[in-house]
Structure 1
Amino acid sequence: MYTGKTQQPCCLCGREETAVRMDIPPRAVQLLDNSGPIAWRDIEGDVSLHFCDSDWETVRDVVLDAGMTPLPRCNAARADFVLREDFEALLNDVRDEPDQTPLEREMLADAERVVDEYDDPDALHSERDLVEARVVQWALGELGHWPTA
């Protein structure tokens, strides 16, 4: 029986009650506060950051009004992600690192589409979608190379 928490705390203030989730590529964990000990190459899937109402307003303003990324202020210890299981220790076998390029490529393509379509009333993208898209674009750009098609 699972008895752990089902809700993630706000990655900025730690408040338990959150209202908004934003997903970033695994490589972007490097840009978060306290990320040093995390083996980001072992993350499987995307990384979710959760925000309480008041911190989401701040994140929204930082991204949309100031044109800055909030990631350096987000605590990696409060991020939600899955690390691959340590079969190497269990089976004395070495596994390849997960190839995160397809995920990054998909997340970047989705982000570009959201940014391009945001002003189109038929696209139905929310402000949250735009904030997430810009953060994904900035994170992958800052990390040095863009996923290739």
Structure 2
Amino acid sequence: MYTGKTERPCCLCGNPETATRIDLPPRAITHMRHADAIAWRDVVGEVSIHFCADDWELVRELVLEMGLNPLSRCNVAYASFDLREDFETRLNVTRDEPDHAPIERRMHRESRIVLATPDAHELRDRVEARIVEFALEDASKASGST
């Protein structure tokens, strides 16, 4: 059985016809609607969310023109991500949580590059970079780190 990432509907309206995908760090899940049911610490790799063409225009305006984070409007049930396998229940062994620090550092570094040179990057990349920055800033505030 394949349990990897799949194409998902628009995270705002549920439309199965999507136009744009962006990738986020696992902690971004905590800022999405209905996130309390997701064990984000068990996510392996990036979280992908998709938008239909109409909602993509709204997200673009929210992020680039108004400086707002759209994640709280996104339904985590429509996100695509991989969860680590749960061997703990079968083997009675506790496994370490995945280390998200390398993913977050890489995504933060890439976002800073995109935001520092916006004319050299696609519109989608600029929106993704800003949302990654929003998610990491919010996560840092929530955890009390700077």
TM-score by length of 1: 0.90
Matches of 2:114 and 2:43, distance apart in 1: 25
**Match in the other structure for 2:97:** 97
Between Structure 1 and Structure 2, which shows a larger proportion of helix residues?
2
- Note the aligned Cα RMSD (angstroms): 2.0
Secondary structure (helix, strand or coil) at the match of 2:44 reads strand
Gaps of 5+ in 1: none
Deviations 1:24-55 (A, max 9, x none): 10011000000001000000000000000000
**Match in the other structure for 1:128:** 124
**Match in the other structure for 1:33:** 33
Question: Does the 8 Å CA contact 2:44/2:81 hold for their aligned counterparts?
Answer: yes
Residue type of the alignment partner of 2:93: D
Deviations 1:45-94 (A, max 9, x none): 00000000000000000001110010000000110001100010121111
Equivalence map 1:47-86=2 (5 Å): 47-86=47-86
Question: Does the 8 Å CA contact 2:26/2:41 hold for their aligned counterparts?
Answer: yes
Matches of 1:113 and 1:93, distance apart in 2: 41
Matches of 2:73 and 2:85, distance apart in 1: 28
Residue type of the alignment partner of 1:82: D
Deviations 1:87-140 (A, max 9, x none): 101211110000000000000000000001112xxx3x1001000000101110
Matches of 1:95 and 1:40, distance apart in 2: 15
Matches of 1:24 and 1:6, distance apart in 2: 15
Runs of 4+ in structure 1 deviating by more than 4 angstroms, as ranges, are: none
Residue type of the alignment partner of 1:129: D
Matches of 1:52 and 1:68, distance apart in 2: 19
Number of aligned residues? 142
Gaps of 5+ in 2: none
Residue 144 of structure 1 and its aligned partner are, at CA, apart by 1.6
TM-score by length of 2: 0.91
